[in-house]
Structure formats: structure tokens, C-alpha cells
Amino acid sequence: MTTNPVGTAQNNADQSKSDFDFDAIGIGAGFAGLALIHYLRETGLSVRILDRGSDVGGTWNWNCYPGAATDSESYYYCLTFSKELLQKWSWTKRYPGWKETQAYMKFVADECDMWPHIQFDTEVVEAEYMADRGGWQVKTAGGETLTCQYLISGMGMISEPMIPKIEGIESFEGSIFHSSRWPRDLDYAGKKVAVIGSGSTTVQMVPVLAETAQNVTVFQRTPNYILPAMQRPMTAEWEKEIKDNYDAIVQKCRDHSFGMAFDSPTGRTVEGTSLGEVQRVFEENWKGSFRWVFETFDDLLTNREANRLASEFITTKMKEQIDDPEIADLVAPNVDDYPLFAKRPPLDQGYLKSLNRHNVTLVDIKKKEPLVEITADGIKTTQNSYEFDIIVLATGFKAYTGALEAFPIRGDQGETLNEKWQRSSDSIMGVCVAGFPNLFIVTGPQAPFANLPTSIEQNVIWISRCIQKMRHEGYNVFKPRIEAEKEWTAHTADIHNQTLMACGDEVNSWMMGANRDDKGPRVLIYFGGANAYYDRMDQSADEGFPELEFVKLDK
Ligand code: NAP
């Protein structure tokens, strides 16, 4: 076991035997980075993971705002390659906070001796495919140039912040920052705090902030369907039940449409069920987490009428928790406005109740008092001027593609991913992109939206099987086939359009990139079921990766 946090390029443990510095360079030391180290090291590759942060964690290293926690239940929000580790680690609650999840990731890195493979405080600023060598050259902000045969993005699908263009944003004289860049030493006790945005991040953050801040003001544009998390501690009995059944839990995730250990599909649909029975099933399953969406009826995300009943049930439950009927009407969406899951619903650990506090204010910036500007001492709307010490931009992310577009990643024709994805974010199963040989992406655009550790592990298994094949058969370059990309893109769009998630462009949903001001809405997610996607990946590997052309390069 080692805890050396900073590996060095000279480290013999991961030095490549080929003419590259490393066989594989991965970017990002979150779940993807850890999975890459495990699976590629098993394949005999030299692996170097670069991360601009100073610790493992990825999302859980950056999103350290008060209240940050997983929305997946702890015991399946983890890597599953080692049965021993699953037994050894103990979670303390149903939804661990960011610190606990990061501690788990450090535990994995310790137990599996992963630290020597990770180079922290290293921001990649450019990557270019070298056609003559069949590999990649990677440049870092520190001036280092590294080469590798395979470049693999593990940068995460929700990691590049979306900074809103609000007049006067530069003029604020207090602390202003994006929620995912929360200053670790910030003391907000007794301070006046503004939160712009009302998505999952805000819902997690506000009840915790409100405990000690002088006041918290939330500037809300679009209301969300907010589901209860129903947090609870892990008990000895519950932990035993989990650990006695881990194989089945892991299999459940692999076989589930969202990669979660849920009991669905249920074989029940709202269509054809009496209204009384629908209400009974909704009520009986009101036990917290996204389970409610998946363990009640199978047609909530495809049938508008079923979705409407679910939406009404949720908004009624939301409003019951709020004392002031005006606030209740403001925070709960009107079910005619958009369907449940056109935006990703937040999970509540106290947000709705916190709106009853004297020191929490919800401001309607959509209809009642739109934002005008940020000033030196606060925020001006069309109706009021508010003074603040701190402004939190909980304004979301450039999902799926943002991290890959933030610096030039140049393929074999000199085009960058950013340029290629101007109109449509095409890929092959979210893992490969035509025009970008020997580049893999873990959970890229057009991959499913699912319990991420499950998807990450499935992606990394596919990647390592692909590399194994190439090594075994003497290939050194793979070129993603454009026909395969077109086929996957069309298939993904076809399925997307059959779901109610396709309404996301009407409500700025990040799930369609509709929250971005620099690109138009698009199909970003494969909604055909994560399990069907994992099957397709297995089939691809079994059939020798027909989506890729393999080349033996004479060097
Ligand atoms: P988000 O859901 O995209 O919400 C961003 C919020 O900012 C929205 O309310 C949006 O309003 C508002 N906004 C954006 N630009 C604005 C502007 N110019 N003026 C005023 N308001 C503006 O972002 P998020 O809350 O950070 O969550 C993003 C995703 O990250 C989640 O859906 C989830 O998948 C993930 N996440 C996960 C967890 C977890 O699993 N524990 C926790 C937090 C986040 P509109 O809706 O009107 O655009």
C-alpha cells in the first residue's frame, strides 16, 4: 500500500516499453482514472493519469460545496472490479457526502497501489494525434510534452462549468464563483449569500448554507420536479444484507436501464391501470431516490399521460412541505410546462423545508423579476436591488462534451473535437470519434446517462478488450469508422425522439446541451437503456470491434 500522491514521469513502474512515454495517458483521476489504472495495468500497459487537481476524486474533488452528496445510493456508487474491496469498505449512509466518496476513492487508490500512476496539478492544454507515429502528443500547462499510443479521456460528463453571461459579473466586490469551484476556506457563517440557479446543486447546497448564513437568496428561473432523497444511516443489518448480496447487486446494476441496483422494469404501465391503483403504487413507493421513477411504472418516461400523473403526484408532495402557498406555486413546476425528466430531477435532503425558514428567499427571475445585472455589492433585478457578500453561480455544466472542447484535441485531419462538434456531437457509443484514431472517451456524448461508476467500468472494460486485441494481433492504430458513427448517431437520435427527454430543449436541459449559450441543443444521451448499451458493447468486443478499422503502421 502506498500513498505517494504525485507520480513522476521517471517512475519505472509505468514507463512504456514502446517508443512513447506511456502506452496510455488518461486525463482525469476520478472514477474513470482509477478504473483505467486497474484494467489497463492488468492488460500490461504503462499508464499515466494526469489531473489538474491535487487529489483523486474528479467530481468529488471539485464539487466540495456544502451539502454535496451522491444521488445514487452509496453501495452501488462504486467500482466493482474487486470483491475484496467491496467487502472491506463501509459506507456510513444511504447517500455519502463528497468527503466520504472521495475517501472511498483514496481507499481504492491505496489498496490497489495506484498513486504512482497519477500525476496531479497537471492541466492538459493541448493534444494532437501524430499520424506518422500512430500516437498522441499531450502538452501540459506546466510546459511538459508527453507522448502515448492511446489517449483516454476520463474527464467526466459533468465537469466543465457553465458560466452565465450576466451583465456586470466582473464588477462584484465580494466572493463570486461557480458551485464546482467552491473555495475550501470560505467562511459563509453570518454572511448574505446569493445562489443563482435552482438545479440539483442548489437543492443540495441551500439547506446546509441556511443553517449558518445570515440569509440565502435563490434566484430561480425554471422550477424543477424535486424528488425526496430520504437520507438514512447505514445500519449493521443493512450493511450485512448488502455485503451478503454484492454479486447480485453488481449484476442488477449491469442489467438496469440506468445502471442502478433497482427492481425494474416492473412489468406495469400506467396505461391500462386504474387511477386509484396508480395512486396506490405511487404512494407505496414514495421511499426516496430515483427508485420512485423506475420502480412504479415502466411508461413514465415515454407516455405523456403517465408522465403527467407522476408529475402531478410529485408537485403535490412538494407543495405539502411548504408553508407559503405562493412559494409552493413558485418552486413546483406547472405540469403543463414540461414533463418529468425533460430536466434531470434533483433529490431533496431538506431544500423544500428550508424555503420555510425566515432567512431563505426564493426569487422568481423568470416571470416576476428578471435579473438585470450583478453590481459591486449584489444583484439587481427589474424589481429590487439585493446586497450580498457571496454569489454562488450554481448554473450547471457544459455536459458530455464541455471538457473535451475546453482545449484543442486535434485528430488526424487537424480538426479539433470542438470544431467537429459544432452542430452535432457524434460518436460511436460515446467511446470513439471518427477522425480521432487511438482516442478513447469514457462516457462521452451519446453514451447513456446512468449510475456513472457502472457505465465507467463497462466503458473501460471495452477499451481494455480493444487494446488487448490490438496487442495480440499486432495492430498499433485503430481508426473509428465514419459509417459506424453515423449509424450510432442515427440510432441514438431515433430513440431519444421516442422519449419525453426530447422536450429538454424547451427548458434549457443540460441533457440536451440546451443550457449552453455557445452551441445549439442536440442529442447528447443514449436513452435506449444502459443495459442494452452494455450488451451492445459486449457484442462489439465479441465480434472484434467492427466499428473500428485496425491498422499495422510501419514505423
Ligand atoms: P443545472 O441542473 O444545469 O442547473 C443550473 C441552474 O442554473 C438552472 O436552474 C438554470 O436555470 C440556472 N441558470 C443557468 N444559467 C442561468 C442564467 N444565465 N441566469 C439565471 N439562471 C441560470 O446544474 P446543477 O444544479 O449544477 O446540476 C447539474 C447536474 O449535475 C445535475 O443534474 C446532476 O446530474 C449533476 N449533479 C449531481 C449531483 C449528485 O448526483 N449528487 C449533485 C449536483 C449536481 P434554467 O433551468 O432556467 O436553465
pLDDT band at 8 (very low <50, low <70, confident <90, very high): very low
What pLDDT sits at residue 84? 98
Which distant-in-sequence residues (6+ apart) come within 8 Å of 150 by Cβ?
23, 24, 25, 45, 135, 136, 438, 439, 440, 467
448 preceded by a cis bond (ω within 30 of 0): no
360-386: average pLDDT: 98
pLDDT band at 461 (very low <50, low <70, confident <90, very high): very high
What pLDDT sits at residue 18? 76
Atom of ligand 1 nearest to the CA of 72: 40
CA angle (222 as vertex; 336, 358 as ends), nearest 5: 115
**Residue 178 alpha carbon to ligand 1 centre in Å:** 11
284-297: average pLDDT: 97
Q: Residue 460: name the closest of 54, 5, 35 by CA.
A: 35
119-138: average pLDDT: 98
Q: Is 299 in the pocket of ligand 1 (CB under 6 A)?
A: no
Q: What is each CA distance from 147 to 9, 16, 150, 404, 467, in whole angstroms?
A: 11, 10, 9, 18, 17
372-381: average pLDDT: 98
Q: Is 308 in the pocket of ligand 1 (CB under 6 A)?
A: no
pLDDT at 6 over 50: no
Q: Name the average pLDDT for the chain.
A: 96
pLDDT band at 15 (very low <50, low <70, confident <90, very high): low
507-528: average pLDDT: 96
CA gap 47, 45 in Å, rounded? 6
**Residue 394 alpha carbon to ligand 1 centre in Å:** 6
What pLDDT sits at residue 331? 98
Q: What pTM, to 2 d.p., does this model score?
A: 0.96
Single-letter residue type at 537: M
384-399: average pLDDT: 98
* Alpha carbon nearest to ligand 1 atom 2, residue: 199
- 254 φ, ψ (degrees, to nearest 5): -60, -30
Query: What is the DSSP code (8-state) at residue 175?
Result: E
427-434: average pLDDT: 98
pLDDT at 43 over 50: yes
What pLDDT sits at residue 554? 82
55-73: average pLDDT: 98
Tens-digit pLDDT profile for residues 243-286: 999 999 999 999 999 999 999 999 999 999 999 999 999 999 99
**Residue 345 alpha carbon to ligand 1 centre in Å:** 10
Q: Is 71 in the pocket of ligand 1 (CB under 6 A)?
A: yes
Q: Is 217 in the pocket of ligand 1 (CB under 6 A)?
A: no
Atom of ligand 1 nearest to the CA of 221: 47
